[in-house]
Amino acid sequence: MSQTEVAELSEPGAPGRGGSSSMPHKRNPVGSAAVLSAATRVPSMVATLLSAMPNEHERALGGWQSEWETLPEIVSLSAAALAHLRSVIDGLQVDTERMRRNIDASRGMVMAESVTLALATSLGRAQAHQIVEAACHKAYAENKDLLTVLQTEPKVVGVLSEQRLAQLFDPLSYVGEAGNFVDRVLEAYQQRKP
């Protein structure tokens, strides 16, 4: 999400952090790289622990000794990943204007699903899908916004008001239960805090 063509998020910067030896303008997401590196390594270590689970009579030689190095390494990698992740999140820079430009770059196509679902309540899923798919093709062919095309489609206008259609194209109305999920996680965290 920090690549030039997306550029919606960037990690906290500091002198000497994330710079490129050949491209001075570049700011590498080093914290995320460390987290992903740990996330890549840990599953194979978990596989080692799972392989060590079956033991012969009285925990015979071999299986459980493989746990000695593996388990502490999993804990160490997980702790390091959490430390890096905390650093990234604490200083995360979010470019909401760029997010909006990226959404708008699709000329509203990214919101086609929400329109299809809204139409489906009156027209049925198959017919709603056909109508929105045809409108998407028309919008691409004529280089228009999907909303503009749908506003002239009689099968849509007869079902969705202009206000409802505009609401369906507002990305802020498309977050669903995300806010409730975040609130529940934060509440659970606060309850467990010493």
Q: Which residues are catalytic?
A: 20, 59
Q: Residue 124's beta-bridge partner residues?
A: none
Tokens 């409730």 correspond to what residue?
Answer: 180
Question: 3-state SS of 13-49?
Answer: CCCCCCECCCCCCCECCHHHHHHHHHHHHHHHHHHHH
